[in-house]
């Protein structure tokens, strides 16, 4: 069976891996010249197997006036024709019941992803800086602590144990918090969350797959359109020709709607831009991954460096504010954790990427409704975390329904 995977981010390459494990011959196509050059490139690196909390929740609705007025530095929102229908769907998910349902659905996938990643790591011959770092999510108020307790109970019911801690207990776990200047009222600790370099993973996996001879990469090849005949996908039209396949899996992240809408499939994905800066560590860089929830930033110790990542800009595919937003991210980080990184280092890497966000925060994984066309997209803030389970699931779906 020949399967074409469109998109060579962490999702596409992991999908290719599981398809090849099922005996498929795979062609991975990407318009860029390298793999992992989209949202996968310099994300926060957190394998957040426990922190799958839905963004769409009642508390978010309360924040909307401040977001629209530009008073919350963690977000930029510019209403436009793509954001409004997406936003209406997002708002429909902002009830306690739906938030809990979405959090649990993603948690279940994340927990399976953890197990699959553990198995995969035993087999992979290359290093991608995987570390069982643990994760502390810092909370700002009594209301955040109450919500965290509700979520911890919800997750415990699924077999995922997290702890809601007093600040002193968090300090024992991560002493670097004592020299951070921002106050926090409590923290959620998850010892099983890890950190690793999704770029190194994707590049390493690509090289490994090429050696097997079963997976071919066609890079620098943009897919112009999907061609279907009746209810069946016929082929993939590239800028320089056409590719026939028994099945096609769309893994094009934030750009998925552009390929899918013309064939009548709408995954309702909005591009939410976030940023990262990777710096040499400072005198008190945390070892444990730290999320400062109300500032919308995270600190991850990765590859010996400190990566600061975050913000969520709902501004379409625009990138013209990048340098301002990266400067703002650095300012928040420097204020919060002045000794965590060498903020004045010249050898810094700064980056922006588009998270492929669905309104309910759940990825679209499996058959599309068109014969031969499958989806593995819409992983939003958690694509690295969910890559193994989503890749495995879609590979099973393809190989069990194509004959």
Ligand X SMILES: Cc1cc2nc3c(=O)[nH]c(=O)nc-3n(C[C@H](O)[C@H](O)[C@H](O)COP(=O)(O)OP(=O)(O)OC[C@H]3O[C@@H](n4cnc5c(N)ncnc54)[C@H](O)[C@@H]3O)c2cc1C
CB atoms within 10 A of CB 229: 9
C-alpha 209 chain-centroid distance: 22
Piece of 73-81, 121-129, 249-257, 392-400 that binds ligand X (CB under 6 A): 249-257
Q: How far is the CB of 309 from ligand X (least distance, A)?
A: 4
Residues in binding contact with ligand X, number by CB under 6 A: 43
Q: In Å, what is the CA distance from 182 to each residue of 177, 246, 293, 338, 354?
A: 9, 55, 12, 10, 28
**Which is nearer to ligand X, 39 or 139 (by Cβ)?**
39
Give the footprint of ligand X on residues 300-339 (CB under 6 A): 309
**Which is nearer to ligand X, 11 or 164 (by Cβ)?**
11
Q: With binding defined as CB under 6 A, does residue 18 bind ligand X?
A: no
Q: How far is the CB of 170 from ligand X (least distance, A)?
A: 20
Mind giving me the DSSP string for 102-156? HHHHHHHHHHHHHHHHHHHHHH--S----B---EEEEE-SHHHHHHHHHHHHHHH
Q: How far is the CB of 146 from ligand X (least distance, A)?
A: 25
Q: With binding defined as CB under 6 A, does residue 251 bind ligand X?
A: yes
Q: With binding defined as CB under 6 A, does residue 26 bind ligand X?
A: no
From the list 3, 8, 164, 165, which residue makes contact with ligand X (rule: CB under 6 A)? 8
Q: Which two tokens stand for residue 173?
A: 């776990």
**Which is nearer to ligand X, 134 or 274 (by Cβ)?**
274
Q: With binding defined as CB under 6 A, does residue 37 bind ligand X?
A: yes
From the list 3, 5, 10, 148, which residue makes contact with ligand X (rule: CB under 6 A)? 10
From the list 74, 134, 257, 353, which residue makes contact with ligand X (rule: CB under 6 A)? 353
Q: Which two tokens stand for residue 40?
A: 């996968």
Contact yes or no for 22/60 (Cβ under 8 A): no
Q: With binding defined as CB under 6 A, does residue 267 bind ligand X?
A: no
Mind giving me the DSSP string for 48-81? -SS----S-SHHHHHHHHHHHTT--TTEEE---T
Q: With binding defined as CB under 6 A, does residue 94 bind ligand X?
A: no
Give the footprint of ligand X on residues 166-225 (CB under 6 A): 222-223
CB atoms within 10 A of CB 212: 11
Pairing mode, if any, of strands 289-292 and 135-139?
A: parallel
Q: Which two tokens stand for residue 383?
A: 């694509």
Q: Could you tell me which residues are beta bridge partners of residue 218?
A: 29
CB atoms within 10 A of CB 62: 11
Q: How far is the CB of 4 from ligand X (least distance, A)?
A: 10
Q: With binding defined as CB under 6 A, does residue 7 bind ligand X?
A: yes
Q: With binding defined as CB under 6 A, does residue 44 bind ligand X?
A: yes
Piece of 63-71, 85-93, 177-185, 269-277 that binds ligand X (CB under 6 A): 269-277
Give the x-and-dash track for 46-85 against ligand X (CB under 6 A): x-x-------------------------------------
Task: Give me the sign of the Cα torsion angle 37, 42, 44, 46.
Answer: positive
**Which is nearer to ligand X, 253 or 282 (by Cβ)?**
253
Q: What strands lie across the sheet with 232-238, from one edge to the other? A: 223-229, 232-238, 241-244
d(CA 137, CA 367): 35
Give the footprint of ligand X on residues 364-383 (CB under 6 A): 377, 379-383
In eight-state DSSP terms, residue 222 is -
Phi-psi label, residue 157: left if phi above 0, alpha if psi -120 to 50, beta otherwise: alpha
Q: How far is the CB of 119 from ligand X (least distance, A)?
A: 18
Q: Tokens 């819409």 sit at which residue?
A: 378
Q: Footprint of ligand X on this chain (CB under 6 A)?
A: 6-12, 29-32, 37-40, 43-46, 48, 222-223, 251-255, 259, 274-276, 309, 353, 355-356, 377, 379-385
């Amino acid at each position: 069976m020949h399967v074409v995977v469109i998109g060579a981010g962490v999702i596409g390459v992991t999908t290719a891996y599981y398809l090849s494990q099922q005996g498929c011959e795979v062609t991975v196509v990407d318009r860029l010249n390298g793999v992992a050059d989209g949202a996968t490139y310099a994300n926060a690196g957190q394998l957040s197997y426990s922190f799958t909390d839905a963004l769409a929740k009642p508390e978010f609705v309360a924040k909307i006036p401040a977001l629209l007025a530009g008073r919350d530095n963690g977000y930029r929102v510019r209403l436009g024709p793509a954001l409004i229908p997406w936003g209406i769907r997002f708002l429909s998910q902002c009830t306690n019941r739906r938030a809990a349902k979405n959090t649990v659905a993603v948690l279940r996938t994340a927990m399976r992803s953890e197990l699959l990643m553990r198995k995969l790591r035993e087999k992979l011959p290359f290093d991608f800086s995987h570390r069982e770092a643990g994760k502390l999510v810092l909370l700002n108020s009594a209301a955040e602590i109450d919500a965290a307790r509700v979520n911890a109970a919800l997750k415990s019911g699924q077999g995922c144990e997290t702890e809601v801690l007093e600040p002193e207990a968090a300090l024992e776990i991560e002493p670097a918090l004592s020299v951070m200047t921002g106050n926090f009222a409590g923290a959620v600790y998850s010892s099983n969350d890890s950190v690793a370099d999704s770029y190194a993973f994707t590049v390493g996996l690509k090289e490994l797959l090429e050696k097997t001879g079963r997976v071919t990469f066609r890079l620098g090849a943009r897919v112009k359109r999907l061609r279907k005949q009746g209810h069946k996908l016929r082929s993939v039209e590239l800028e320089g020709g056409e590719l026939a396949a028994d099945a096609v899996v769309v893994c094009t992240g934030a750009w998925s709607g552009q390929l899918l809408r013309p064939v009548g499939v709408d995954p309702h994905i909005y591009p939410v831009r976030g940023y990262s800066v990777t710096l040499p560590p400072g005198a008190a860089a945390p070892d444990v991954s730290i999320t400062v929830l109300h500032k919308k930033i995270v600190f991850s110790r990765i590859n010996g460096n400190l990566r600061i990542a975050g913000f969520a800009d709902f501004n379409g595919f625009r990138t013209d504010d990048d340098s301002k937003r990266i400067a703002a991210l650095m300012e928040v980080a420097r204020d919060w954790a002045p000794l965590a990184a060498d903020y004045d280092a010249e050898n810094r890497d700064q980056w922006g990427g588009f998270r492929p966000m669905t309104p309910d925060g759940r990825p679209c994984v499996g058959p599309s409704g068109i014969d031969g066309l499958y989806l593995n997209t819409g992983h939003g803030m958690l694509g690295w975390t969910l890559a193994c389970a989503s890749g495995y699931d879609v590979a099973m779906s393809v190989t069990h329904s194509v004959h």
